[in-house]
Structure 1
Amino acid sequence: MVERNEAPRGLVMHGFGAGSEQVTAAFRSAGNAAKALPGAVIELVIQGPAVAALVIDGELAAPVAAALGNGVAVLACENSMRSAGVDRGSLLPGVASVPSAVAHLAQRQWDNWAYARV
């Protein structure tokens, strides 16, 4: 648990996969982490074909809304978006993007964030 006088700690979670079931589980894990780690900053980075489900009317609308409601930042990999034919304007409200999932994950770890592959 994060103490009040400490700087917020970060947890970057890496959701990778093609199937919505696998990525839905990643959203569930991120929500659970947010509840278990009050005060922590949590990001869920989605990489791979699953980014196609992060669009408006996509399969992941409910899990994304739940994660955002729990304070989890949801980030889509722009490299994966290009491969899947997804543009930023079609992402669900609240979903941001990063140019490269791998580079973002590396940078967060260099910044002393915890990493979890889900």
Structure 2
Amino acid sequence: MTDVPRTMAGLCVHGNGPSPETWLPASMRTALNAVADLGGDRPVELVVQGPGVALLTAGKGAEGPAAQLDELLGAGIAVLACANSLRSAGVDESDLRPGVRVVPAAVGHLARRQWDGWAYVRV
């Protein structure tokens, strides 16, 4: 598990729910749009919770959400997977695409970020 550094307040984009094939790409676009509009002055995180964590693995090919991860990471967006969701989905942390970090619990991470003044958007 990775310790996510506390930095200046930024934006947490939260992806969760059924049908991750729909909401994960939308969450990724939202995070990229936020960086484009807000500029590089504030950090942006994409926090993935629920069954969508299975789409963050390295073995999902060069298309779809997994391919978009490289674009997000290249734009400086932190992609964070919930460890509880990984366990529920049967995904090992070592199977995640390089650059994806893990937080112990999405709910705890999101709460701490909001207490630190971060903005929150759920997709």
TM beyond 0.5: yes
Shift of 1:66: 1.3
CA offsets 1:31-62 (integer angstroms, 9 cap, x no match): 01011111110011000001011101225221
State the SS of the aligned residue for 1:36.
helix
Match of 2:11, SS?
strand
**Aligned partners of 2:17, 2:87: CA distance in 1, in Å?**
16
Structure 2 residue identity aligned to 1:50: G
Which one has the bigger helix percentage?
2
Pairs aligned (count): 112
Q: Where in structure 2 are the equivalents of 1:1-118 lying within 5 Å?
A: 8-18=8-18, 19-38=20-39, 39-58=41-60, 59-118=64-123
What is the SS of the residue equivalent to 2:86? helix
Identity of paired residues, percent?
Answer: 52
Instruction: Report SS of the residue matched to 1:104.
Output: helix
Alignment partners' CA distance in 2, 1:56 and 1:62: 9
Work out the CA distance in 1 between the residues paired with 2:102 and 2:11.
17
Whole-angstrom CA distance in 2 between matches of 1:54 and 1:60: 7
Structure 2, unpaired ranges of 5+: 1-6
Deviation at 1:15, TM superposition (A): 0.7
Deviations 1:38-89 (A, max 9, x none): 1110011000001011101225221211111111100000000000001110
Q: Please, which runs of 5 or more residues in structure 1 have no aligned partner?
A: 1-6
Does the 8 A contact of 1:17 with 1:23 survive in 2? no
- Greater share of strand: 1
Q: Following superposition, which runs of at least 4 residues in structure 1 exceed 3 angstroms of deviation?
A: none
What is the RMSD computed on CA atoms of the aligned residues? 1.4
Distance (whole Å) between structure 2 residues aligned to residue 35 and residue 9 of structure 1: 17
* CA–CA distance in structure 2, aligned partners of residues 20 and 69 of structure 1: 22
The residue type equivalent to 2:105 in the other structure is S
Bigger RCO (CA 8 Å, 6+ sep)? 2
